[in-house]
């Protein structure tokens, strides 16, 4: 029987990073994957979606090309775009597997199940691990009344697994991140989008009302509209497409449907009871802040253990889990310190807490706000929608949270992530030299606005002059 210091189940972002970090720390590591290497994120999620988002952004920007002296029009070809993401994913997967091999990580293909808390069977072949990290991710939630139908009713897994169905009218069902991102992407590729949601998009994701309102305004600019209080009652496939029936009896004919109703943790085949690993009523593996399960040598990370269900959290938790299995209880995960980003008609990014949560934690929150409408960099890009908003402790300037709406928000948020929770964050952000013109300058402007408004000017501006 093969024995390892660490066995990782699942090769998505969290599992991959856990294997890499553990190998770099000198552990003998095996990683198990039952499907395509790289997991959902690489093959059916954030990576191919980001590929399409890049194209969608170019098409969206082309509406203003004429006034910049650029002639011609752009249009989307979803079939070609599908092949492009497929090729990109293949290149990334090859690089990914090559790196694991060079690190000496043993790659094991097959479905894993627990025999006991230290022994796993992979398609019948046993192996053991002194430690185990479960990183099996999640799978699309498919409501019982809205079943998958090949080439008619799809999840995003299906959309990236095979070329898109024919037809120009698509219904998108959901109000979360998946629906919010694909409503923009598919509309930019020339599809007529019928977006049906029970509530306002992203209402439960922690983004402010201001951010959501700014996003909705951008949707309107592109003719994208969501029908709220419009949960689909049933779907009937026909020879001509899909008939969507709403609770009020309204019927909508579309060519195909994309389900964006969320995801559920993937644990059903692991036989966790054999290992004594506890799960909650929603199916998530129960972990503490060290990512440790009810079995001290077994850890769980990412979608299978965290309802936030983002690759960002999985990556952060991977490092925490490996550090703790090497030096028990050395560090703890902090979900607030992990950025959340939405790639849609307007990029949204956030980290930390808002004013309401800051007050609940015992802080007096101070806020600073600046709009990209006055940013020279954004104005010359003809892309000035959005803002930077910063939340700090009013007495110390400790950075408690931040939100960015606008182009490159997903990159800019990292500047604030470096300073998240730091007592001297405002001073350092104000004192740091910036390129000009650049969108990042709005971070400094938001800090200075906050400092002037909340009586922190002397501390913040003194740090700037002392630098």
All domains of the chain, ordered by start, with CATH?
2-140+264-336 (3.50.50.60), 153-261 (3.50.50.60), 347-466 (3.30.390.30)
Does pLDDT of 224 surpass 50?
Answer: yes
CA–CA separation, 233 vs 245, rounded Å?
Answer: 6
Report how far Cα 143 is from the mean position of its chain's Cα atoms. Answer: 22
Whole-prediction pTM value? 0.95
pLDDT of residue 294: 98
Q: Summarize the confidence of residues 355-369 as an average pLDDT.
A: 96
457/285: higher pLDDT: 285
pLDDT of residue 462: 64
CA–CA separation, 322 vs 391, rounded Å?
Answer: 31
Helix pair angle (46-61, 177-188), 10° resolution? 40
CA geometry: angle 333, 337, 340, nearest 5 deg: 115
Q: Summarize the confidence of residues 390-404 as an average pLDDT.
A: 94
Q: Summarize the confidence of residues 234-253 as an average pLDDT.
A: 93
Contact 435, 368 (CB under 8 A): no
Q: Which residues contact 69 (CB under 8 A, 6 or more apart)?
A: none
Does pLDDT of 377 surpass 80?
Answer: yes
pLDDT of residue 73: 79
Does pLDDT of 239 surpass 90?
Answer: no
Q: Which two tokens stand for residue 96?
A: 């990914």
39-98 residue pLDDT tens: 999 999 999 999 999 999 999 999 889 899 998 878 999 999 999 999 999 999 999 999
pLDDT of residue 128: 97
Does pLDDT of 16 surpass 90?
Answer: yes
Q: Would you tell me how many other CB atoms lie within 10 Å of the CB of residue 273? A: 10
Q: What percent of the chain shows pLDDT beyond 70?
A: 99
pLDDT of residue 305: 98
115-129 residue pLDDT tens: 999 999 999 899 999
Q: Summarize the confidence of residues 354-365 as an average pLDDT.
A: 96
297-315 residue pLDDT tens: 999 999 999 999 999 999 9
Confidence of residue 464 (pLDDT cuts 50, 70, 90): low
CA–CA separation, 43 vs 228, rounded Å?
Answer: 31
Q: Summarize the confidence of residues 4-23 as an average pLDDT.
A: 98
Q: Summarize the confidence of residues 347-364 as an average pLDDT.
A: 96
CA–CA separation, 357 vs 394, rounded Å?
Answer: 14
Contact 324, 290 (CB under 8 A): yes
439-456 residue pLDDT tens: 999 999 999 999 999 888
CA–CA separation, 259 vs 236, rounded Å?
Answer: 14
For the chain, what is the mean pLDDT?
95
CA–CA separation, 141 vs 178, rounded Å?
Answer: 12
CA distances from 11 to 19, 105, 118, 175 (A): 9, 12, 19, 28
CA–CA separation, 455 vs 252, rounded Å?
Answer: 56
pLDDT of residue 461: 73
Does pLDDT of 19 surpass 80?
Answer: yes
Contact 39, 11 (CB under 8 A): yes
- Phi, psi of 48, rounded to the nearest 5 degrees: -65, -30
Report how far Cα 229 is from the mean position of its chain's Cα atoms. Answer: 25
Does pLDDT of 246 surpass 50?
Answer: yes
Does pLDDT of 467 surpass 60?
Answer: no
pLDDT of residue 234: 95
Q: How many CA atoms lie within 13 A of 46 on its CB side?
A: 16
Q: What percent of the chain shows pLDDT beyond 90?
A: 91
Confidence of residue 463 (pLDDT cuts 50, 70, 90): low
Q: Would you tell me how many other CB atoms lie within 10 Å of the CB of residue 248? A: 8
Q: Summarize the confidence of residues 228-256 as an average pLDDT.
A: 93
Between β-strands 119-122 and 153-154, what pairing exists: parallel, antiparallel or unpaired? unpaired
Does pLDDT of 466 surpass 80?
Answer: no
Confidence of residue 457 (pLDDT cuts 50, 70, 90): confident
254-304 residue pLDDT tens: 999 999 989 999 998 999 999 999 999 999 999 999 999 999 999 999 999
Q: Would you tell me how many other CB atoms lie within 10 Å of the CB of residue 71? A: 7
For residue 245, list its beta bridge partners.
Answer: 234, 251
170-214 residue pLDDT tens: 999 999 999 999 999 999 999 999 999 999 999 988 999 999 999
Contact 28, 2 (CB under 8 A): no
């Amino acid at each position: 029987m093969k024995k390892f210091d660490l066995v990782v189940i699942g090769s998505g972002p969290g599992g991959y990073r856990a294997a890499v970090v553990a190998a770099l720390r000198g552990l003998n590591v095996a990683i198990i994957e039952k499907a395509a290497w790289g997991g959902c994120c690489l093959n059916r999620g954030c990576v191919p979606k980001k590929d399409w988002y890049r194209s969608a952004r170019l098409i969206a920007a082309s509406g203003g090309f004429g006034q910049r002296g650029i002639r011609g029009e752009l249009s989307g070809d979803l079939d070609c775009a599908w092949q492009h993401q497929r090729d990109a994913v293949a290149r990334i997967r090859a690089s990914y597997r090559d790196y694991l091999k060079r690190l000496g990580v043993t790659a094991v293909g097959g479905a894993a199940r627990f025999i006991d808390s230290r022994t796993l069977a992979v398609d019948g072949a046993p192996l053991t691990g002194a430690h185990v990290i479960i990183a099996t991710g999640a799978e699309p939630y498919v409501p019982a009344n809205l079943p998958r139908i090949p080439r008619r009713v799809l999840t995003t897994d299906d959309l990236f697994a095979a070329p898109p169905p024919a037809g120009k009218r698509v219904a998108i069902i959901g109000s979360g991140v998946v629906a919010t991102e694909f409503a923009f992407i598919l509309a930019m590729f020339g599809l007529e989008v019928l977006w049906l949601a029970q509530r306002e998009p992203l209402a439960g994701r922690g983004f402010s009302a201001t951010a959501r309102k700014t996003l909705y305004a951008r949707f309107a600019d592109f003719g994208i509209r969501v029908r709220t209080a419009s949960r689909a009652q049933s779907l009937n496939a026909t020879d001509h497409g899909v008939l969507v029936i709403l609770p009020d009896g309204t019927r909508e004919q579309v060519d195909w449907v994309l389900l964006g109703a969320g995801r559920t943790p993937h644990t059903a085949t692991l036989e966790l009871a054999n290992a004594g690993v506890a799960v909650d009523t929603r199916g998530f593996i129960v972990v503490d802040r060290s990512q440790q399960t009810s079995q001290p040598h077994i850890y769980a990370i990412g979608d299978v253990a965290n309802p936030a269900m983002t690759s960002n959290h999985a990556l952060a938790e991977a490092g925490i889990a490996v550090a703790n299995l090497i030096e028990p209880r050395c560090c703890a995960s902090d979900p607030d310190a992990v950025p959340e980003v939405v790639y849609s008609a307007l990029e949204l990014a956030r980290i930390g807490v808002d004013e309401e949560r800051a007050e609940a934690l015992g802080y007096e929150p101070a806020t600073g706000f600046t709009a990209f409408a006055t940013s020279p960099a954004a104005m010359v890009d003809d892309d000035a929608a959005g803002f930077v908003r910063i939340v700090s402790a009013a007495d110390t300037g400790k950075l408690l949270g931040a939100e960015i709406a606008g182009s490159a928000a997903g990159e800019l948020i990292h500047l604030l992530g470096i300073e998240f929770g730091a007592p001297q964050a405002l001073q350092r952000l104000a004192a740091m030299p910036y390129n000009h013109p650049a969108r990042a300058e709005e971070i400094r402007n938001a800090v200075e606005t906050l400092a002037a408004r909340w009586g922190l000017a002397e501390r913040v501006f003194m740090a700037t002059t002392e630098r």
